[in-house]
Amino acid sequence: MKLKIIFITLFGWLLFAIPTSMLRERARESFERGDYCASLKTLRWTSFFSSSDKYLLATLYASGFCVTQDIPRARQLYGTIHRSTPEMIGKTFFYAAIGASDSDERNGQSKRPQVLRALFSEANSLGFHPTDKELAELDQRNLKADFLISISQKINK
């Protein structure tokens, strides 16, 4: 009897785990190819099972890929990954801005300064302050002006 229960449990788990892992892999591949809409559909479900999928979903919300930019939702998702450490969440927003810019460039889209400034502003409001090396990286990618504007807008408010 115990063997039968173990077998049924194992079989049920395999029926669930194999398709889920295939879906997660497909979502990651879509994300890497820049097919964000296909990735978004799957990540909404698989993010319940995986922190890495939750991270990708938060990045889609933060960057406004295939959805309207939703910083509060992204902050919530990043918070569950980084255990609500504000500075780490801020650093994640900072690098999400760099990633969004890189993706736009890679896909031949024009730069979206409002999206980038919102991400930089959120990073700053969460207490993240970039190092000199990170500022040099922004300068190299022509993003330093957007970063400085986002900070000055926050100060003027």
Domain ranges of the chain: 2-156
- In this prediction, residues 88-113 reach a mean pLDDT of 90
Q: What topology does CATH give the domain 2-156?
A: 1.25.40
CA distance 122 to 132: 19
43-to-32, 66, 108 alpha-carbon distances in Å: 13, 12, 24
Work out the pLDDT band at 82, boundaries 50, 70, 90.
confident
**pTM for the predicted model, two decimal places:** 0.80
Q: Please give the pLDDT value at position 157.
A: 53
